[in-house]
Amino acid sequence: MRRVRLGLFAAGLATFALLYTPQPVLPVLATAFRATPTAASLAMSAGTLALAVAIIPVSSLSEVLGRRRVMTTSVLAAAVLGLAAPLAPSLDALVAIRVLQGLALAGVPATAMAYLAEEVEAGSLGRAMGLYIAGNAIGGLSGRVIAGVLAGHGGWRVAFAGVSGASLACAIAFVVLLPQSRFFRPAPPRPRALAVALGRHLADTGLLRLYFVGFALMGAFVTVYNYLTFRLSAPPFALPASAIGALFTVYLAGTWSSAVAGRLADRAGRRAMLALGIVVTIGGVALTLPANLAAIVTGLIVMTAGYFAAHSVASGWVGGRAKAAPAQASALYLCLYYVGSSVAGTYGGEFYAHGGWPHTVAFVLALLLAALASAVSRRE
């Protein structure tokens, strides 16, 4: 278990640092390429949308080639593509590289949950999933903070290069640490069986509710972080990229809450913990409304803690409910999760452009209230 935790922690660091590198430097990208906030946000959305498209095929490939092999290839290829990103001559070229990187990155989130479900006993799955999500939070935190600090000193190209170099080191550590699967049994490619399994998952109304929760949660969360960077870089705050990147240290609240929520869900029930996590997220978003930096930071801490708690419970619930083809069930959850990131993360820019932060918050709260309605209608 120690090598499993350390290995997946390293993979999470690399994957989510690479995936979220553009977020703290979106205002810098908008200035460098003379782009609108919505256009600049494509540097984020292109990667997450490509990941969403690839995640189901890659999860199916892992049924044939093995979880570990797919994850290893994925994280190494993504890190190498990350090193190419600083060479992009235009925003279009950067977006194209991000598409390729998103396709490569799909391997870790597509298979990590299935790997844990196979290798960890059922009674400990909630805790193990919580620890994996916590590692993802630290990866997202590290990439954002490092990118923000480096961009403040050397621009966005230096930021991308620095994060990609660190991610390559983590990818190599992952290859060395993660044990070979003990319980994986390869299966031949069966497209028809896959279609049947996906159909069963989509016919399960309980799973559909969880998929929608993932879509709305991630869409709301990414929208806040995408456009808060523009709000904080403009008057009256006028924060530099390094300070905006440092704000992402609030992700530590998600590291704690996801692990705690996983344990409590095993004891107190998933439905209550999922609803509680979403309510806390809503409260945190509301706290960001005043033009006061202390209130904004407090709101980010509360929102991040609630979001990661809810995501930990929802993702673990999907794996626990699926009686067949759990990798595909988890992949569907993550597909909708990252589609939410891409669609809402881009569309939220229109609310920001036309109504500023209050309209953006209204859009985010609508998503979260819909997620809460879906969660409370869900049975154990």
For the chain, domain boundaries: 2-179+192-376
CA 165 to chain CA mean position, Å:
20
Q: Is 346 helix (H, G, I), strand (E, B) or coil?
A: helix
CA dihedral 298, 216, 126, 251 (to 10 degrees): -30
Q: Under 8 Å CB-to-CB from 209, ≥6 apart: which residues?
A: 374, 375, 377, 378
273 with 309: CB under 8 angstroms?
Answer: yes
The pLDDT value recorded for residue 329 is 82
At residue 124, does pLDDT exceed 80? no
Share of the chain above pLDDT 90, in %: 57
At residue 102, does pLDDT exceed 80? yes
Least confident interval from 25-39, 73-87, 192-206 = 192-206
- Angle in degrees, 0-180, between the axes of helices 91-105 and 67-84, rounded to the nearest 10: 170
pLDDT digits (tens, 9 = 90+) for 237-295: 999 988 998 888 887 887 788 778 877 877 777 888 999 999 999 999 999 999 999 99
At residue 125, does pLDDT exceed 70? no
d(CA 102, CA 49): 7
The pLDDT value recorded for residue 95 is 97
At residue 130, does pLDDT exceed 70? no
Q: Under 8 Å CB-to-CB from 31, ≥6 apart: which residues?
A: none
Task: Give the predicted TM-score (pTM) of the model.
Answer: 0.85
91 with 34: CB under 8 angstroms?
Answer: no
Please give the residue that has the higher pLDDT: either 317 or 18.
18
At residue 60, does pLDDT exceed 90? no
The pLDDT value recorded for residue 122 is 66
Say how many residues make up the chain: 380
At residue 128, does pLDDT exceed 80? no
The pLDDT value recorded for residue 312 is 86
At residue 126, does pLDDT exceed 70? no
Least confident interval from 94-108, 186-200, 293-307 = 186-200
The pLDDT value recorded for residue 203 is 80
The pLDDT value recorded for residue 140 is 81
Q: At 185, phi and psi to the nearest 5?
A: -125, 115
Domain 2-179+192-376 fold is Growth Hormone; Chain: A; (1.20.1250)
Output the CA torsion sign for 65, 71, 74, 77.
Answer: negative
**pLDDT band (50, 70, 90) for residue 378:** low
Tokens of 301: 């801490």
d(CA 218, CA 215): 6
Q: Which of 138, 281, 301 is nearest to 219 (CA)?
A: 281
The pLDDT value recorded for residue 193 is 72
Give, in order, the Cα–Cα distances in Å from 192 to each of 195, 196, 198, 326.
Answer: 5, 6, 10, 16
The pLDDT value recorded for residue 270 is 83
At residue 379, does pLDDT exceed 70? no
At residue 303, does pLDDT exceed 90? yes
Least confident interval from 64-73, 193-202, 205-214, 278-287 = 193-202
d(CA 129, CA 213): 17
pLDDT digits (tens, 9 = 90+) for 146-197: 999 999 889 999 999 999 999 999 999 999 988 877 776 666 767 777 787 7
38 with 164: CB under 8 angstroms?
Answer: no
The pLDDT value recorded for residue 380 is 56
